[in-house]
Amino acid sequence: MYAGEHINVTEDRAVLHTALRRPATDSLVVDGQDAVADVHEVLDKIYAFAGKVRSGEWRGVTGKPIRTVINVGIGGSDLGPVMAYEALKPYVKEGLECRFISNIDPTDAAVKTADLDPETTLVIIASKTFTTLETLTNARCVRAWLLDGLVAAGAIEDTEEARRGAVAKHFVAVSTALDKVEEFGIDPVNAFGFWSWVGGRYSVDSAVGTSLAVAIGPKGFEDFLAGFRAVDEHFATAAPEQNVPLLMGMLNIWYVNFWKAHSHAVLPYAQYLHRFPAYLQQLTMESNGKSVRWDGSAVTTDTGEIFWGEPGTNGQHAFYQLIHQGTRLIPADFIAVANPAHPTRDGETDVHQLFLSNFFAQTAALAFGKTADEVRAEGTDEAIVPARVFPGDRPTTSIMADELSPKVLGELIALYEHITFVQGAVWGIDSFDQWGVELGKRLALQIAPAVSGDDEALATQDPSTQGLVTWYREHRR
């Protein structure tokens, strides 16, 4: 991977997300191109752009500075940026806000733009090929909202020339399809590229993270990259018995293949990490949700886990019951920081200390449980003793950091990237393709005419789909 070999075998591609954070002094020639030099050329361009937006030099068509950045993307072009933005909100420039539109449900775009001023809004469209159905559909919706709003406010004239001029001031792209970017109305100069060797779920530290670079600034983004780099170096050089991603990856193999664990809980005791479990769902499940090996043969063991979770202590009052006393083994990763961004007291108690007391208590309870004798010693009625026994021996991993800084977040993401790689390598699968997302997308395009009222198209569908589409057509207004 580090050398640029084509380990994504089904797409014949290198896997070089680690090159995204290598220092500019490095060089890595892959397929005749210096990947590190290319990365830093784009980074310099992103930093210059971010600086202009943050300083107020970049202004909208009416001369007002940008106050809101909307990132339009889906999958890796959304999950990574929104997770990182939410995690690093204390580092976001005051007076600047990012919003994220991903779902093709029109409600998403409508709600996210409802209270915004088009004159102070900048839109980043993130699509490598500039053909992603959901992203381009949402991009057109946001473009219509912004241009119609500018016209209604008298900010621009209702002419094609004025509209194209406004798009050039209010839209940029994360894409390499410069012809399509220009066709949309975006100046190709304002397009930030990334490469086929970067998978979407590994791309938050590429140009896909442009919204984050604007939000936390070039210095913050450099710290973010430094965190990734530190874990990359650790993974590449640490001895096996001290190699954290290797050990955690092998532990997950142990849980899945020897203890039949089918899911894995991620429980951040840090509210700013509330989107981290959702981010890990794509990273891990899209990577290792495979039933075929690199060589095309069927796997002979279970692969992948269902990743899920919520911040503590919310989860304690929801699903921890299943982890503590359920019949399924559910390994859990607990994540906490020693110093919160907002050290609030309630007048007598340090609230964060109370919060972390729950963190420590839960991992201890899962490990050691509570015996029937301990329950009886509390004077419990014998009839309900079994219900109050905790079996213990439920595996957890505790991850703690000094604070949730850009560097720490980079370290945390890279840790799970390499854990995912380790598991895929042991299972012999390609962790870097995602053919499982293609079939449904193709069928959606085939079904769309039937949904719109084409009876001939409806007749070509299977009976179940025909019934569902017919019900929808009868009930839509």
34: β partners: 29
Tokens representing 72? Answer: 């339009």
Asked whether the beta carbons of 21 and 232 are under 8 A apart, the reply is yes
| Pair type for strands 33-34 and 396-401 | unpaired
Residue 310 is which amino acid?
Answer: E
Residue 41 is which amino acid?
Answer: E
Tokens representing 189? Answer: 């100069």
d(C-alpha 89, C-alpha 93), whole Å? 9
Active-site hit among 219, 260, 262, 441: 441
Asked whether the beta carbons of 402 and 227 are under 8 A apart, the reply is no
Of 114, 54, 101, 37, nearest in space to 73 by CA: 101
Tokens representing 291? Answer: 């039933």
Of 176, 59, 174, nearest in space to 120 by CA: 59
d(C-alpha 275, C-alpha 311), whole Å? 9
What is the sign of the dihedral through the CA atoms of 223, 229, 235 and 239? Answer: negative
| 286 given a catalytic annotation | yes
| 438 given a catalytic annotation | no
Of 50, 321, 414, 426, nearest in space to 211 by CA: 50
Tokens representing 86? Answer: 């939410």
Of 16, 7, 18, nearest in space to 236 by CA: 18
Active-site hit among 119, 134, 286, 305: 286
Tokens representing 232? Answer: 């990359």
Asked whether the beta carbons of 351 and 284 are under 8 A apart, the reply is no
C-alpha dist (Å) from residue 158 to 117, 161, 163, 195, 403: 18, 9, 7, 38, 50
Residue 14 is which amino acid?
Answer: A
Active-site hit among 57, 317, 403, 438: 317
| 441 given a catalytic annotation | yes
CA atoms within 13 A on the CB side of 16: 25
Return the C-alpha torsion angle 101, 306, 332, 375, nearest 10.
120
Buried b (16+ CB within 10 A) or exposed e, 47-64: bebbeebbeeebbbbbee
Q: To which residue do tokens 């729950």 refer?
A: 358
What are the catalytic residues? 286, 317, 441
